[in-house]
Structure 1
């Protein structure tokens, strides 16, 4: 919840900064036009979308900024109190998948090196082997027990390594 609040605040600050810069430039579009364009639906604003981005649809992993393990772990932990409910299952499973891979990227980029995180990286690799590159909802649903078990095992591993997330 904290991360989504921070992301939402960042989007609002960006919109406000854009609106201010447009107001300061008389050659730019009128403020009314700016607010109309910034009032796009939430799904068109990536940070507030509830639909997880499937790998390959966003920027290449190498183009993403390096994230700290503690921040990625906070995102993974945010899924612990959620579950696969009828109206939320696709979002939930996609989010768990995305958060696991966010952790994987952060651990591999960490200054301590990927060798510092052998078990979590191995668990994610095992999950990826089982998913066989298919992260569509039907396949995530089919492998839901493994997906959730992977998340829970990584959570327990990280709890035993507090120096990595504090």
Structure 2
């Protein structure tokens, strides 16, 4: 693909496969200017992804039956995702360590200290993810969306706090 940096420091690209998109450059990081297209990155392979990129940032947790379940604060460095899970009162109740993998979409597979195996299956826009413990599926539609958003579509349901 080909692109050019405009006077505002935004790189505009034209591609045959991805269509047209713009990236905002900021030091060692870049991010898409579109809220519909998640595209961001870093200059070095093992630098921390900025908030809003990959799994990094604060995520508000909820489910089909329970609202205001709490939140997660995650950090992604390379393929490693770590972070803490908090209840609705803001008390930390578990930690998470996982590795990003590809298989029917992006996911971070790992262990939560209080409940065991946990898979975070992120949507294509990186605006929300499902939380799946063990192999039980997700009958309660436990999910999380990025802080500041109102909802995120997760392939078969919409996650709303």
TM-score normalised per structure 2: 0.26
Specify which structure has the higher proportion of strand.
Answer: 2
Specify which structure has the higher proportion of helix.
Answer: 1
Greater relative CO (CA pairs within 8 A, separation 6+): 1
- Highest Rg: 1 or 2? 1
